[in-house]
């Protein structure tokens, strides 16, 4: 119990004594280019994060040239809301940024978004493929490009195309022997390389945002990436049953996957299908890794790398049958944790930071690295100090929410509570120092009542500060 009390005190100190990075803080160097790589549904399922079954040499190489954040979290585990929060720099609330179709234009029409701010500072701004979830949700792009000629699911097999033409979903995976640019993410890499050539010729600072859709469902990737993995080596997670101690409100029906052919409308998939899904996810990660590598090689070959900030991030996590769940849409860590790698001029290389980072922190971080003013409306904190001194902890709390569930990450403690009509109806507490897979809900144990009460106070005080 002493350990828990110390943690709570530390969290309180962080809350009441944290340093703000808002204001017009800038570096003294000229403006940097920004290459922003966002990967849809990418959890930290990468070799650099210790998942040695994954083949991701290009992202690993990027990590070797920059700082990898071991503890980065989205603020809401659903595509549209997460991206809207990141690009506006403000947190989701009970009234904004709730769903996949969250709109920056409609929900925050008077907020200075990141693209608009960079545009005002003289940047050329280009969006390739999925950066915002909704098309035309930001007007300030100099160019907003999408490769979706045959739909965003981008099937190639005659069987899946036939199912789509008949008004049905195809299968949740596809394994076809085609070139990389037969699929949209390969086209996206090619387009981004051509953009880099033109941007170099133009000579203006740029914000090139490249959105890769895989490993989002369906797991469509060229056969050579599927062949990287032996189907016999694919393993299911150990905690593949929803924990009895967790509240039922933390469970969900993983509806996004239910739409696909071969997936039951109720109940769990078979072990064989589960392993095929995991295999498809791995193949999709390796496919995207190859596209990231192509773009990064072009950046270097064009002589742009030394003056470019490179950010690679996932928009939220994804469940691969942990707790019996699939997709995102939960307050468990597997849906909240994201990969985050930042490689920037004059910052350390091949380093890791255990300082907590949130996606809402990226707006001020990009501003400071680009040497432009940091707008006062931002809810996040710049991560530049963590980049410059990665061995030091600058931040040990984060907030996330999904629907009615509010999560406080405080050091190694993950605390969530759900409210209905101003009344708390359920709680979860996991201690990652002893239970990293979140199988034992301490919130229902009497011996942790004091810890729960303290965390609840911190959580609700933090929520009151969000505008």
Q: Are 79 and 316 in contact (CB under 8 A)?
A: yes
Residues 97, 107: contact at Cβ < 8 Å?
A: yes
For the residues of 379-403, what is the DSSP string, one character each? -S---HHHHHSTTS----EEEEEET
Q: Which strands, in side-by-side order, build the sheet including 340-343?
A: 143-145, 124-129, 206-212, 33-39, 308-314, 340-343, 67-69, 351-353
CA 427/CA 407 separation, integer angstroms = 10
Neighbours of 143 (CB within 10 A): 12
φ/ψ of residue 267, rounded to 5: 80, 175
Residue 321, sorted as left (phi over 0), alpha (psi -120 to 50) or beta, turns out to be left
Q: How many CA atoms lie within 13 A of 439 on its CB side?
A: 11
Measured CA distances, 430 to 238, 407, 433 (Å):
17, 11, 9
Catalytic residue, candidates 11, 74, 79, 367: 79
For residue 236, cis peptide bond before it (omega within 30 degrees of 0): no
Strand 326-327 vs strand 405-410: parallel, antiparallel, or unpaired?
unpaired
Residue 152 · residue 169 · CB < 8 Å? no
Our answer to whether residue 18 is catalytic in this structure is no
Tokens 């069987």, located at residue: 159
How far, in Å, CA of 199 to CA of 201, rounded? 5
Active-site residue flag, 79: yes
Which of 117, 133, 279, 329 is labelled catalytic?
Answer: 133
DSSP letter assigned to residue 421: T
Q: Mind telling me the catalytic residues? A: 79, 133
């Amino acid at each position: 119990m002493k350990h828990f009390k110390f943690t709570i005190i530390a969290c309180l100190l962080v809350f009441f004594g944290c340093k703000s990075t808002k204001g017009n803080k800038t570096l003294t160097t000229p403006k940097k280019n920004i290459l922003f790589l966002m990967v849809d549904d990418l959890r930290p399922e990468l070799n650099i994060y210790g998942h040695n079954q994954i083949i991701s040499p290009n992202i690993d190489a990027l990590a070797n040239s920059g700082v990898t954040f071991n503890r980065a979290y989205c603020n809401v585990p659903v595509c549209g809301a997460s991206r809207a929060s990141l690009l506006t720099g403000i947190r989701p609330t009970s009234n904004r940024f709730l769903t996949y179709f969250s709109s920056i234009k409609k929900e925050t029409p008077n907020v200075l978004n990141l693209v608009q701010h960079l545009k005002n500072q003289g940047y050329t701004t280009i969006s390739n493929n999925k950066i915002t979830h909704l098309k035309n949700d930001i007007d300030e792009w100099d160019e907003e490009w999408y490769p979706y000629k045959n739909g965003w699911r981008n099937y190639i097999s005659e069987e899946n195309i036939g199912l789509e033409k008949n008004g049905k979903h195809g299968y949740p995976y596809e394994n076809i022997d085609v070139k990389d640019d037969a699929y949209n993410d390969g086209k996206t890499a090619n387009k981004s390389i051509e953009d880099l050539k033109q941007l170099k010729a133009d000579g203006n600072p740029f914000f090139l945002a490249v959105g890769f859709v895989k490993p989002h469902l369906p797991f469509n990737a060229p056969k050579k990436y599927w062949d990287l993995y032996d189907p016999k080596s694919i393993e299911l997670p150990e905690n593949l049953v929803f924990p009895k101690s967790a509240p039922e409100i933390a469970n969900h029906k993983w509806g996004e996957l239910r739409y696909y052919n071969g997936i039951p409308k109720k109940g769990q998939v078979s072990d064989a299908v589960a392993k095929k899904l995991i295999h498809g996810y791995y193949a999709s990660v390796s496919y995207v890794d190859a596209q990231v590598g192509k773009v990064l090689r072009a950046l270097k070959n064009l002589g742009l790398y030394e003056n470019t900030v490179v950010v690679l991030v996932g928009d939220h996590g994804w469940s691969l049958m942990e707790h019996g769940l699939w997709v995102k849409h939960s307050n468990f860590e597997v849906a909240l944790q994201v990969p985050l790698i930042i490689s920037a001029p004059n910052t350390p290389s091949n380093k890791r930071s255990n300082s907590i980072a949130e996606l809402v922190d990226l707006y001020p971080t990009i501003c400071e690295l680009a040497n432009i003013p940091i707008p006062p409306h931002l809810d996040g904190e710049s991560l530049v100090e963590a980049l410059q001194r990665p061995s030091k902890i600058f931040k040990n709390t984060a907030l996330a929410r999904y629907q009615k569930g509010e999560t406080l990450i405080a050091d190694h403690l993950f605390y969530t509570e759900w409210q209905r009509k101003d009344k708390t109806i359920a709680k979860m507490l996991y201690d990652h120092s002893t239970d990293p897979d979140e199988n034992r809900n301490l919130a229902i144990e009497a011996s942790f009542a004091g810890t729960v009460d303290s965390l609840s106070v911190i959580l609700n005080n933090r929520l009151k500060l969000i505008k």
